[in-house]
Structure 1
Amino acid sequence: MNGPATTETYSVQLRRLAELTARVHEQRQEARAWYDQQCAAADRAVAESADEVDRAERELVAARETQERVDAEVAVLWQELNARLGGGRRAGTPPAPAPEATGDPVTLLETVRDLLHRTRQPGELPGNVNPLLAVWGVAGAALAYALGVGARALGQHNDGDLAVGLPVLALVVTLLGPVVGLIPARMTADRRHAVLSPRPVLIVVATGLTATLLLLALPLP
């Protein structure tokens, strides 16, 4: 049989029990502290995730609004391009967004808008249309002279006011001959989306005036 525990052995056991109790308490404290730290870290992660989700949702809403504005602007610019082409030509439907495209779409649209604005600005007629302008000047003068001759002939076959007024009208129409060619010249400029600058006007008027003087120098029948 085991003998009764001595006082010394009992004291040792109590001390060991106390040490074990203290160690368990310390470990529990450490476990509780670690648990609190993990909970705090998890709460912070959840809060940060919630903020990121809110930020992502706001960015998504802003991106959708930007996309809608860009799509609307693209439709307007594409319509302007089709109108600018004219002649029954069409550029088709707007191209789809390129997945690899980079850059701010608003800036790109500003560039396109500026390009369309500059292309809408009429330029000057090129020099290769100068012969055509001269033809318009001569044709206008010839037409006015023919109308004047017809008016004078009609006046000679009438009496009274017509006999007096028609020759005067014939002279006025003939003198307008140098500028009659500006009408088809303007149509030519419009078809070429150009302005009728002083150079083509001078060509038409100069050739029209020359043709009118030569026609007036001809002996009347």
Structure 2
Amino acid sequence: MNEPVASETYAAQVRRLADLTARVAEQRAEAHTWYDRQCAAADRAVADAVEQLHRAEEELVAAREQQERVDAEVAHLWQQLRARLGGGRRLGGPPAPAGNGSIDPVLPLARARDLLDRTGQPGELPGSVNPLLALCGVAGAVLAYALGAGARALGVGYGGDLAVGLPVLALMVTLLGPLIGLVPARVLADRRHAVLGPRPITVVLGTGLLTTVLLLVLGR
């Protein structure tokens, strides 16, 4: 038969059970707290990941839009370059991007655009073509003098009113000789993709005027 348990032993067992129960409750509370913290941290991590994903998607969309704009600008500048060099040259497509893509393309495109704008503007004829400009002035004066001489000869040949009017017309044509020299000078400037500025005009007019004066003096 079982022997009866002493009251002191029973009370000790009850206290031990109460301590164990309190300890289990405390540990359970700590476990719930740890679990709640882990869940909160996981929720924050997920929210941060979602936000980063949204930012990455927005950056990707912006990068694609910038790439489209850059490609369109490159194609436009390349077309302008082909037009500058002449359509007969086979240049193919635009060159591939240089570098690893970390360089901002805005600055190189701006430099290329500025370079094309400056090369597209015609400059003045260089000083090395001054002999050709002088030759244009001489040719214009000689041509005008020859036309004037022909008009005077017709006036003398036909007589009458023509003998009076044609010499006047011949003098006017002769005096226009320096201006006639500007026509071939302009053709020369167009072929060199340049403008006929003040210096080339001065060379042509000065040479043509000097030639006209010499021809009039020698023709007397």
Give me the TM-score of the superposition, normalised by structure 1: 0.88
Alpha-carbon distance, 1:47 to partner = 0.8
Unaligned stretches of 5+ residues in structure 1: none
Structure 1 CA distance, aligned partners of 2:170 and 2:99? Answer: 71
Partner of 1:42: 42
**Secondary structure class of the residue paired with 2:97:** coil
Unaligned stretches of 5+ residues in structure 2: none
Structure 1 CA distance, aligned partners of 2:99 and 2:177? Answer: 62
- What CA deviation, in whole Å up to 9, does each residue of 1:156-206 have, x standing for no partner? 343555554433332222111112111111222222222222211111111
2:91 counterpart of 1:81: no
Alpha-carbon distance, 1:87 to partner = 6.9
Is residue 81–residue 91 contact of structure 1 (8 Å, CA) maintained in 2?
no
Paired letter, 2:130? N
Alpha-carbon distance, 1:22 to partner = 1.3
Q: CA RMSD in A?
A: 2.2
Structure 2 CA distance, aligned partners of 1:181 and 1:4? Answer: 144
**Judging changes above 3 Å, is the alpha-carbon distance between structure 1 residues 97 and 17 closer, same or farther for their aligned structure 2 residues?**
same
Q: Give the length in aligned residue pairs.
A: 220
Structure 2 CA distance, aligned partners of 1:130 and 1:87? Answer: 31
Partner of 1:177: 177
Structure 1 CA distance, aligned partners of 2:165 and 2:102? Answer: 75
**Judging changes above 3 Å, is the alpha-carbon distance between structure 1 residues 194 and 27 closer, same or farther for their aligned structure 2 residues?**
same
Is residue 140–residue 177 contact of structure 1 (8 Å, CA) maintained in 2?
yes
Structure 2 CA distance, aligned partners of 1:93 and 1:165? Answer: 65
- What CA deviation, in whole Å up to 9, does each residue of 1:84-128 have, x standing for no partner? 223734543211223424432223222222222222232222111
Structure 2 CA distance, aligned partners of 1:219 and 1:202? Answer: 25
Paired letter, 1:111? R
Alpha-carbon distance, 1:16 to partner = 1.6
Structure 2 CA distance, aligned partners of 1:2 and 1:153? Answer: 166
Greater Cα offset, 14-23 or 101-110: 101-110
